[in-house]
Amino acid sequence: MKKIKPFMVERNFLILMTGVFINGLGSGIYSVAGMLLVFNLSGSVLYSGFAFFAITSAGALSFLIAPLANYARYKNGLVYSNLIKAIILFTIPLVHYTIGLNVWYVIILLFITALFTQYTYPIESTILPIIVGKDNVVEANSYLQTIREAMDIAFIAGAGIIITFIGTIPAISITAVCLVLVTISYAFFNFQQPDISREKSHSIGSAVNFYFIDLRAGFNYIRNSLVPKMIFSIVFINIAMVIMTTNLPAFSLIKGNGIEATYGFYLASISLGIMIGTIISPKLRQINFGKLIIITFIGTGIMWIGASTLPLIASMILFCIGAISIGVLNILVFSSIQKQVETAYIGRVITVITSAAALGMPLGSLLGGVLGETLSPEIPVMICGISMIIFSVFWLCSSVLRKLPGIDRVNLFKNSEMA
């Protein structure tokens, strides 16, 4: 029998796990209900594009928001930000049952709650080493990530069924209640937060100066590395993915003959594919990274082109298989960064990368909305599949990217000059 690791029964880790579990339930329902609510209020794929634009714009701003986590107690940041998100979401049913909802009101709230998520996510990542200790951080992080993705599959699929029976407004109320429960759970944290090594600022001006010093540090650290060369590829993938996901609510309703639960099933199939990619990625570490990406993303393109044309069941299966490459890419790149970047810079470097990668997503949201409104939702899904093949051809034509060795042997900072 496998022995339970001590950190798994540590009080603060159990609290974090409880919060992650409840958050998974709430966010699974919210991710389905929010987009369906926008689509139902507007009846237009174009407004779905506006909603995705709002959400992805918040992601693109994460490099500005994440450093703010260092200027408050971590526990207070988690507690109050989740409480504010709950209050914001409670206004949706309140407004709906009183003066009536406007689609733009919902889109603005989606943007604001996404901003708070960009603030809380780096805090959860930062407190993990404090809670479990540096020796256990990789194992604890892997354990949490697998649980998160497994819950995503169950909760997103379940969300589609729940919304079919109770509707989008009550479903969003469930998410708000979940956030209240997360707030209460995190209020019981008792870990010791280390002091931030910087001079105490006595003015707004000096605080702003420290903030921008932190911000520049992340950019300077990767400036001369291989990372910026790979960001373009990630931006291209994200644009293609958002063009597809913007149209997924309408696409799902077409494939499912108007059954709203189908949208949750499609999101769950993508999550399942990403989880499979996450699980198998350690076994692929020794394969040349360049060739691995070229082959897997050509497969993804073919699968998603097929998913756009085939009936419901076959379409969801191909969606799942095609998403495996996304999970592989995410884990291998993230693992490489964890191994090679100094501990003090990991949070900032990952934030810079994710923010840069998100820069193209607002454009993809608007483009996806226009394409879905002008043509039909199946066409943007097919375009996403074609884009994955184009991405593979780009890597194939680049000798630097094509010849990248196994991810453990890729030297991200070969040309960098670290102080």
Higher pLDDT, 302 or 287: 302
Give the 3-state secondary structure of residue 191: coil
Give pLDDT tens digits for 35-47. Answer: 888 888 888 778 8
Q: How far is CA 280 from the centre of its chain?
A: 20
Give pLDDT tens digits for 301-355. Answer: 999 999 999 999 999 999 999 999 888 887 777 666 656 666 556 666 666 676 6
Its CATH architecture, for the domain 222-419, is Up-down Bundle (1.20)
- Give residue 104's pLDDT: 92
Give the 3-state secondary structure of residue 13: helix
Q: How far apart, in whole angstroms, are the C-alpha atoms of residue 118 and residue 55? A: 10
Is the pLDDT confidence value at 400 over 60? Answer: yes
- Give residue 44's pLDDT: 79
Domain boundaries, the chain: 11-191, 222-419
Tokens of 30: 């919210």
Please state, rounded to an integer, the average pLDDT across all residues of the chain.
78
Q: Which of 4-8, 11-15, 74-78, 80-84 has the highest mean pLDDT?
A: 80-84
**222-419 has the same fold as 11-191:** yes
Q: How far apart, in whole angstroms, are the C-alpha atoms of residue 240 and residue 250? A: 17
Higher pLDDT, 296 or 135: 296
Q: DSSP assignment of 92-134, as one string?
A: HHHHHHHT---HHHHHHHHHHHHHHHHHHHHHHHHHHHHHH-G
- Give residue 66's pLDDT: 63
Residue that has been written with the tokens 């996404």 in this structure: 114
Which whole-number Å values give the CA distances from 127 to 13, 73, 116, 149, 316, in the listed order?
10, 11, 17, 20, 37
- Give residue 337's pLDDT: 67
Homologous superfamily (CATH) of 11-191 is MFS general substrate transporter like domains (1.20.1250.20)
Q: Which of 61-65, 121-125, 248-252, 413-417 has the highest mean pLDDT?
A: 248-252
Check the CA dihedral 75-77-80-84 and report its sign.
negative
Is the pLDDT confidence value at 120 over 70? Answer: yes
Tokens of 215: 């911000």
Tokens of 219: 């950019």
- Give residue 201's pLDDT: 45
User: Are 218 and 58 contacting, i.e. CB atoms less than 8 angstroms apart?
Assistant: no
User: Are 32 and 91 contacting, i.e. CB atoms less than 8 angstroms apart?
Assistant: no
Residue range 410-414: mean pLDDT, rounded: 67
